[in-house]
A and B are shown apart, each in its own frame.
Chain A
Amino acid sequence: MLNLLVIIPILGAIFIGFWPSDISGKLARYISLGVAVVAFVLSLLILGQFDPANSNLQFTVLIPWIDSLGLSYSLGIDGLSLPLVILNGFLTFIAIYITNKEITRPRFYYSLVLLLTAGVFGAFIAQDLLLFFLFYELELIPLYFLIAIWGGPKKGYAATKFLIYTAVSGILILAGFLGIVFISGSSSFAYDQLLLGTMPLATQLILLSAIVIGFGIKIPLVPLHTWLPDAHVEASTPISVLLAGVLLKLGTYGLIRFGLCLFPEAWGIVAHWLAIWAVVSVLYGSFNAIAQTDMKKMVAYSSVGHMGYVLLAIASSTPLSILGAILQMISHGLISALLFMLVGVVYKKTGTRNIEVLEGLLNPEQGLPLVGSLMIIGVMASAGIPGMVGFIAEFMIFRGSFGPFPLETLLSMIGTGLTSVYFLLLVNRVFFGRLSPLVQNLDRVYWSDRLPALVLVAVIILFGLQPNYLSRWSESKASVIVAKSQILAQPLLLQAHRPDLVITTN
């Protein structure tokens, strides 16, 4: 079944892109929507058959591929990747649904979106380091074109910057992966084999650094983040939804899967520094968001801040914090997708995202009252208001991280307060007050504009009220990740802090 998750979008992309006879934009849209529905339903079927009590890989697929390289087509899914796979299926469908029906070069566009989806699915379920890298790089090319062709006025600049940053990210990750295999003496890139390998601590630290920086670009962490606001501002709304919703999660997913799990000893050494890095990201992202006048840029910087929480949680590596990190990935995926989508509706109707121009959009008759109301719910969710999924995820992270890193956790919690500050500034300026004369004659808002946002809000509230529906799939996996890493890291950690207590055997 995991095979189909990758193959169906690729076949869809090939069909739309290369079918010899004419395919209209409308038909291309319907085909891609159909493929997205199938992929999403497949992910739900996997969910239905997934055993949450089993922390091992499930639905495994192993097909030898290029033995000389040690590359195998190895797929599998566990409590870490399952929620992200479903999120990808869900947001891909929404992104295609909200795509402008009159988009230019529709066949190319929808092909790229499906290819991107296949890449992301593949990366989340790949159980071979080289295969993961291939999928990781596969999503880079479609995304570059999606920004460069259908983006805003500075699309060329933003797409190129994205390409350079992500290519560097890929190089570092590849270097890390090659280093792991060569130094450990493994004959293949199979993830489960590499889990069992051992390496000197110094080597681990070097390789981990490459991987952390590589994935840090993708997350993105300050100061590696500058590609993200540009990419978001220039990308069209559906691409921003995918970018913020799932693509950034490849970075945090990679940190857990290939950082924490492969280098538990080294992770224990650098964890404190990562927690400090997380604080810097949270505060820098939040303060920058306050200073923005472009709604989309504000949400983009908010993403930088919120992804910092995930790093804090991974650095803490307690069962609760790892579970919180997984939930925060999903929570941020849903909330940022909602916010980008609503910003997109505002932009589509008013022609601007400038919060100094917009005013009073909550006006019940002439404004965008439902869009404004949903935006208020979205920013509440982002600020961690109880009753919504953002609260659950952030609470778990802070509760789980407070033990190992109390000061860093407290400083990160300031970020949630700052989230309220910048989003209340946004809501107050854009939606409250008298409707600006510049935007009084807006187009009608149709239910098709509102429906995806309503669905996302429903999901955000559902998981906020009943977080168990979300957390139960990952609880055992989070505990196992932490247990394994602590067993492996314990002697080294002890050595680092109290060398006198380490018993050596000669």
Chain B
Amino acid sequence: MSHHTLSNPKHPLHKYIDNLQAGQALLKDTPENVLEVVGILKSYGVVLEAYYKNLLYIAQSQFLELFPFFKYFNGDFSNKKLLRHWWHDRINYEYAEYCMRMMLWHGGGGLDQYLDTPEFVTLAKRAIVAKVKNNLLMGPVNTIFPEMLVEQVRQSAYYQGLGLFWEVMSAMFLTLSDKYDRKEITTIPQVVEHILNGLVNAANNPMVYSVEIKGETYDIVPASAKLTFLMDLAVPYVEAVFFRGTPFMGTVSYNAQALQIAPEQSRFTYGALYADPLPIGGAGIPPTLLMQDMRHYLPDYLHDLYKQTKRQEDNLRVQICQSFQKSMFCVTTAAILGLAPHSVNTKNPAEIEANQLYFANWLDRFFTSRIQEVNQ
């Protein structure tokens, strides 16, 4: 492309800035990368579908349940399913909750701001009063700790928010796979374009949340809050899950008192783009749950690719994680391009410079990410 200027060559990742300015992706465009990314996003799409349905079920049907023992059953409980659940023959819904809490913890975006407004508190308390009325346990709890249930409602709002976000993303990834199967997608930029179009199309979807209590509907996040898909869900999600993450226990134990963890959350770099795929498989490490879920839905062509490696299926989850990380760089590319101040096709020098500065600011955050490893 001739219409963009080269970035500052002193920037350690200037190659990627140039790629973005040229409308390319952060991931190298190779047939194997396309196969891996599309294949893994297909299995991710299937898993996300299960996740979002459960998140929305919990948000709407488990609202302020003090002991939501059966929240992972989506209202379809039976002893047989309980046995399967205990046998662990199931989707790891805990991973979805883990991501939800990550968003709640890091905040950001319009939803986070709205949940601190008096308007939300008023609406939440209305719903709380309706819910705890005649409840001998929760009523006194609410009286003694008036902020506790409000905080629970905030969490429920995030259940709803992430559920709505993944509903869009799930469909988007499954459509991507269908297009790949029809050979309409053959390059990484096409993958990015598909995701970008999906994000743009859903950008203004409203984020609303209401619950039904004793036959009456209570708004928690009304349409008047004017929260939308892209800026209030997608962007905070990318920030929380892709970039910041949480310093979970893996093969490395972090010691916050020894300042191994940055004191400001904004400086956290434990997200999907930074994650070390090697600890995958360790008990209690959240990404492992996702990899375990995805391995059940791998398309045959991707599974065959993994079987051709030296350790074949012995390190399947690590391979899934590596492919997943590649795909997340594609999603991140789409998000960065989608939020760019100007089109990458612009020929206006001022706009090109503004874009370059914007991309360079993003890439400043990638120094310790795995961008180099996934492009080897």
Residue positions of A touching B, CB distance < 8 A: 360, 363-366, 432-435, 440-445
Contact = CB atoms under 8 A, between A and B. Distances in A.
A-B CB proximity, top 9 nearest: A364-B281, A365-B315, A365-B281, A365-B318, A366-B315, A434-B251, A444-B311, A435-B278, A444-B314
A365 B310 contact: no
Contacts of B314: 365, 444-445
B12 to A, nearest CB: 20
A366 B318 contact: yes
B136 interface: no
A434 B315 contact: no
Interface string B246-276: 0000011000000000000000000000001
B280 interface: yes
7 contacts: A363-B279, A363-B281, A365-B281, A434-B278, A434-B279, A444-B314, A445-B314
B42 interface: no
Contacts of A445: 314
A441 B276 CA distance: 15
Nearest to A443: B310
B310 A366 contact: no
Interface of B: 251-252, 276, 278-282, 310-312, 314-318
Contacts of A441: 310-311
A308 B278 CA distance: 42
Contacts of A442: 310-311
A159 to B, nearest CB: 35
Contacts of A364: 280-282
Contacts of B310: 441-444
Contact of B251 (A363, A440, A443, A444): A363
Nearest to A442: B311
Contacts of B276: 434
A443 B310 CA distance: 6
A310 B224 CA distance: 84
A445 B314 CA distance: 9
A265 B215 CA distance: 100
Nearest to B319: A365
A57 B251 CA distance: 56
Do most interface residues of chain B lie in helix, strand or loop, or is the interface mixed? loop
Contacts of A366: 278, 311, 315, 318
Nearest to B318: A365
A365 B312 CA distance: 11
A384 to B, nearest CB: 29
Contacts of B251: 360, 363, 432-435
A5 to B, nearest CB: 41
Given A363-B251, A364-B280, 13 more contacts: A360-B251, A364-B282, A365-B281, A365-B315, A365-B316, A365-B317, A366-B311, A434-B278, A435-B251, A435-B278, A440-B278, A442-B310, A443-B311
Contacts of A440: 278
B343 to A, nearest CB: 41
Q: Which of the listed residues A364, A365, A441 has the most CB atoms from chain B within 10 Å of its own CB? A: A365
Contacts, number: 42
A364 B282 CA distance: 7
Nearest to B282: A364
A481 B189 CA distance: 84
Nearest to B250: A434
Contacts of B311: 366, 441-444
A366 B309 CA distance: 12
A464 B155 CA distance: 53
A160 B318 CA distance: 47
A364 B280 CA distance: 8
Contacts of A363: 251, 278-279, 281
A442 to B, nearest CB: 7
A159 B104 CA distance: 67
B281, B315, B317 — which one has the most chain A CB atoms within 10 A of its CB? B315
A443 B279 CA distance: 18
A433 B253 CA distance: 10
B211 to A, nearest CB: 41
A364 B277 CA distance: 11
B280 A444 contact: no
B214 to A, nearest CB: 49
B249 to A, nearest CB: 13
A171 to B, nearest CB: 52
Nearest to B312: A444
Contacts of A444: 310-312, 314
- Identify the interface centre among B252, B278, B282: most chain A CB within 10 Å of its CB: B278
A488 to B, nearest CB: 61
A433 B276 CA distance: 13
Nearest to B320: A365
Contacts of A432: 251
* Chain B CB within 10 A, most for which of A360, A363, A366, A433: A366
A440 B276 CA distance: 13
A355 B279 CA distance: 21
Contacts of B282: 364
A280 B83 CA distance: 60
The residue among B276, B310, B311 with the most chain A CB atoms within 10 A of its own CB is B311
A432 to B, nearest CB: 8
Contacts of A443: 310-311
A360 B250 CA distance: 12
Contacts of A360: 251, 278
B279 to A, nearest CB: 8
A441 B376 CA distance: 15
A433 B251 CA distance: 6
Contacts of B252: 434
A444 B280 CA distance: 17
A444 B312 CA distance: 8
A363 B310 CA distance: 16
Contacts of A434: 251-252, 276, 278-279
Nearest to A434: B251
Nearest to B291: A365
A402 to B, nearest CB: 41
Nearest to B317: A365
A463 to B, nearest CB: 31
A363 B279 CA distance: 7
A444 B311 CA distance: 5
B24 to A, nearest CB: 29
A433 B316 CA distance: 21
A58 B188 CA distance: 79
Contacts of A435: 251, 278
A416 to B, nearest CB: 29
Contacts of A365: 278, 280-281, 314-318
A11 B189 CA distance: 71
Nearest to A437: B278
A391 B311 CA distance: 37
A290 B279 CA distance: 29
B354 to A, nearest CB: 40
A425 B245 CA distance: 33
A229 B281 CA distance: 37
B318 to A, nearest CB: 4
Nearest to A369: B281
A214 B316 CA distance: 55
